[in-house]
Amino acid sequence: MEQLLLTLIFLGVLFFLLGSGVWVGLSLLGVALVGMELFTSRPVGDAMATTIWSASSSWTLTALPLFIWMGEILFRTRLSEDLFKGLSPWLGGLPGRLLHVNVVGCAIFAAISGSSAATVATVGKMSIPELRRRGYPEQMIIGTLAGAGTLGLLIPPSIILIVYGVTVNESIAGLFMAGVLPGLMLAFLFMAYIFLHALFRPEGMPPRGEVVGFLEKLRNSFSLMPVVLLILAVLGSIYAGIATATEAAVIGVAGSLVISALQGSLTRKSFAESLMGATRTSCMIALILAGADFLSLAMGFTGLPRNLAAWIGAMELSPLALIVALTLFYIVLGCFLDGISAVVLTMAVVEPMVRQAGIDMLWFGIFLVIVVEMAQITPPVGFNLFVLQGMTEHQIPFIARAALPMFAIMVLAVVLVVAFPEIATWLPAQMRSSP
């Protein structure tokens, strides 16, 4: 009875603060403050100061602002134009033709940015006008872009994987490696959907454009080579064990500055804008993490996570049943919270359950990110939907309907990762076993 009362108080205060429009990080701090005052005798001020300092001074967390800054720099280059120009000659002959540019373009930018919203905005900035001009179906343009944009959360360097790794004390480099194959699998599934849609409904596809020769394709792709080399340098340095995630982030920032300078897009204004954009995003995430750490401490003093984990254990759920329950839980939660908030808000309670069930935390991180990706295209709080609303002037219900097949594909991806966990664990295992 006491644990039920604790849970209701925590949830009541949290939903009151979130419903009042208070920032997520401050809401988490407020809930923890109430919990500490009501249910513990420890001095709240000292506990808050110590916890926030330890959360903010984590060395692992230094990779976060650097990867965000790398994406912000390249967001302000000609990358969106280069993506379309370089990819369209190669993809124009496939069933579905240039709709594949949305998927492949998002996969490439995801390997730079780590942000879903930035991925949608960058690729959509160029692809939406071009695909509309060539007569592609509006629902397919928007749906494929909404779904493929979520790759920004999964394909490394992923911001949410860094947040998860810091929260559960898991290797960032290992999580990055674990995200590669599931990210490529999801991109392949999106392309397979476009392929099948074009085969069964060819009347909706515009006629094939001018056939481009092989040498012309190579010339058009040349502008993409610096970005591809940057991706290989960042991820390759981690995989080869040459650099940590933080050191690879430094390589990414330096490379993106060089690319931006060579393109002529690095100006005093763009440099300042990229720096301020990275600062705002990093500070928002740091505040959420600090609030989540303090809430974890407060809940630890009350014994709520431990008792809840014991209660779940007493139910003797199989690991599969627990995964199904958590999938439904995070899909519902994602309708109201962004992905990072959903992860840090729940880890204090979910982590003990998952560890007690014997589930690999590295694998669970990838599973969690795929499920959280679904939240990016589910109303009412689907960030990709809002980005596309601003870019296309369609209403949220139309964009959500267009993205519904992509949601179903993500459900299939979850099923595949659960059925074949090696999709996520094989590459990190190779990294650990390499000399």
* Helix pair angle (396-419, 383-392), 10° resolution: 140
pLDDT at 219 over 70: yes
The pLDDT value recorded for residue 352 is 82
Phi then psi dihedrals of residue 52, to 5 deg: -65, -40
The helix (H) or strand (E) run that includes residue 309 is helix 304-314
Q: What is the pLDDT of residues 140-199, one digit of tens each?
A: 999 999 999 888 888 888 888 988 998 888 888 899 999 999 999 999 999 999 999 888
pLDDT tens profile 370-381: 998 887 788 766
* Residue 7 pLDDT: 66
Q: In whole numbers, what is the pLDDT of the chain averaged over residues? A: 82
Average pLDDT over residues 318-347: 81
The residue type found at 272 is A
What is the mean pLDDT of the segment spanning 323-345?
80
Which stretches within 40-136 are classed as H helix?
A: 44-56, 63-75, 79-91, 99-113, 116-133
CA distance 136 to 140: 7
pLDDT-based confidence at residue 310 (cuts at 50, 70, 90): low
Q: Are 183 and 107 in contact (CB under 8 A)?
A: yes
- DSSP secondary structure, 150-177, as one string: THHHHSSS-HHHHHHHHHHT--HHHHHH
Q: According to the model, what pLDDT value does residue 209 have?
A: 61
- Residue 290 identity (one-letter amino acid): A
Q: Taking each helix axis from N to C terminus, what angle separates 172-200 and 396-419, rounded to the nearest 10 degrees? A: 120
pLDDT of residue 353: 82
Q: Cα–chain-centroid distance for residue 61? A: 16
Domain residues of the chain, as ranges? 49-433
- For the chain, how big is the Rg over CA atoms in Å? 22
Distance CA 195, CA 204 (A): 13
- Tell which residue, 198, 192, 262, 199, has the closest CA to residue 227: 262
Average confidence (pLDDT) over 392-408: 88
Rounded to an integer, what distance in angstroms lies between the CA atom of residue 198 and that of residue 380?
30
pLDDT category of residue 388 using cuts at 50, 70 and 90? confident
